Chain A
Amino acid sequence: GESVGLHLPTLSVQEGDNSIINCAYSNSASDYFIWYKQESGKGPQFIIDIRSNMDKRQGQRVTVLLNKTVKHLSLQIAATQPGDSAVYFCAETAKLAQKLVFGQGTRLTINP
């Protein structure tokens, strides 16, 4: 479904710890998933993507896991840094679709 809700879930972690942000997607026909990071006053910034023919994809300090059985996506950030503080959105789409459908978003706060 479409992004809903006025109250963003918040995740607080200690600097240096690993963060895991979860997302449930809605459309079983979606076959392409993207994580975006949005800092205050800025547009969403691409972090990492994954296609439905994969279960896991790694980038620099980030890993995305996809579980199609339960329609669940997660973003793991290793050794969290203060610059990681932002709102993180998952987005889903399909190969023949025109639009991204965004999840609710999670606010990640890093404690020193």
Chain B
Amino acid sequence: DAGVTQSPTHLIKTRGQQVTLRCSPISGHKSVSWYQQVLGQGPQFIFQYYEKEERGRGNFPDRFSARQFPNYSSELNVNALLLGDSALYLCASSSTPGGYETQYFGPGTRLLVL
């Protein structure tokens, strides 16, 4: 079975640019969450989506936005990139949000902002 997939695997951008990251959840999973992992730290929650609706948002500025599509895939957009946005962006999927549903992570997209 295919796990969570993310694209691209690596990305280099310059300050002020915009970036779109993509995620496909495990087949049958309807909830997608996004996390940011800065080097040397644990992942930090950005968003959770379920059935195309935002269910939760972490402490990130409005430059970060996301959406979920009818096929449950998701995109994370970051505008006006800052150097501090350089990180590994992880997508996790679960069958439903909350509850005791395990979140399974993809390999991540490593973003470098120069």
Contact = CB atoms under 8 A, between A and B. Distances in A.
Contact of A98 (B90, B98, B107): B98
Contact of B103 (A7, A100, A103): A100
A51 B44 CA distance: 22
A34 B102 contact: yes
Q: Give the dominant DSSP class at B's interface.
A: loop
Interface string A68-112: 000000000000000000000101010111111111110000000
B105 interface: yes
A43 B90 contact: yes
Interface residues of A, number: 32
Interface residues of B, number: 27
B99 interface: yes
Q: Give the dominant DSSP class at A's interface.
A: loop
B103 A5 contact: no
Contact of A96 (B35, B43, B98, B103): B98
Interface of B: 4, 33, 35, 40-45, 48, 55-56, 58, 88, 90, 92, 97-100, 102-108
12 contacts: A3-B41, A3-B43, A34-B102, A34-B103, A43-B106, A43-B107, A44-B105, A91-B42, A97-B98, A98-B98, A100-B92, A105-B42
